[in-house]
Amino acid sequence: MKRLLKVLLGIFLIILLDQTTKGALLYLITGSAFVHGPAWSVVPVPYLMAHVTNFFNIVFTWNPGTAFSLFRALGDNAPLVMIVATATIIAFIFYYLVRHAKSYERVPLVLIVGGAIGNLIDRIRFGAVVDFLDLHIGGAHWPAFNVADTFITIGVILYILNWWLARRRCLNNYKG
C-alpha cells in the first residue's frame, strides 16, 4: 500500500508540473489557461515567444499528431484512436508498475506513466498536445516538445539503462 501511494504521488507530481507549465504558457498567450484547442487538422507554425539562449527558445505550438506522424492515414478518426491507444498503453504499464515491476523499474515507469497521462490530458482537452520547448543548433531545430515528453524520454532512457545493468549483473553472477 505504501509503495502504491508513492507511485501515485510521483505520477501526480509529474502531471501537476506538466499541466502547470502548459497552463502558464496558455495564460501568457491568451490570458486564460482554459482555452479551446485547435481543430483536429490544424497544424500552426510554432509561435516564438522567447529567445532564451543560442540553442533554446520558448515557442508555442499545437501537436495534433504523434512522433513521426504515425496514425496520419486514419484521417478524422486519428484523435480518437490515439486517445484510446494511449489510455490502453498507460493502463497496461500502470498495472505492470503496481503489480510486477522490479525495484529498478519503478522510477522509470512512474516517469513514463506520468508524462503519458500529462499528454493524454491535452489530447482529451484540446485534441492536440501543447509543445513549447525548442532546442536548436543554428537553424536546425529539434521538434518542439514539452515537460511530459521530457519525463517520458528520461523514463525510457532510465528503463533501458537499468534493464541493461540488471542483465549485466545477472550474467556476471551466472559466470562467476
Query: What are the tens digits of pLDDT across the range 142-165?
Result: 889 999 999 999 999 999 999 999
Is the model's pTM score more than 0.85?
A: yes
136: enclosing H helix or E strand: strand 129-137
Collapse the DSSP code of 16 into the 3-class scheme (helix H, G, I; strand E, B; otherwise coil) and give the result.
helix
Q: Choose the most confident range, by mean pLDDT, from 33-47, 56-70, 111-125.
A: 111-125
Specify the pLDDT at position 41.
40
Question: Active-site residues: which are they?
Answer: 131, 149
Edge to edge, the sheet with strand 140-141 lists 47-51, 56-63, 129-137, 140-141
Handedness of CA 97, 98, 101, 102 (dihedral sign): positive
For residue 81, what pLDDT is reported?
85
β 56-63/140-141 pair status: unpaired
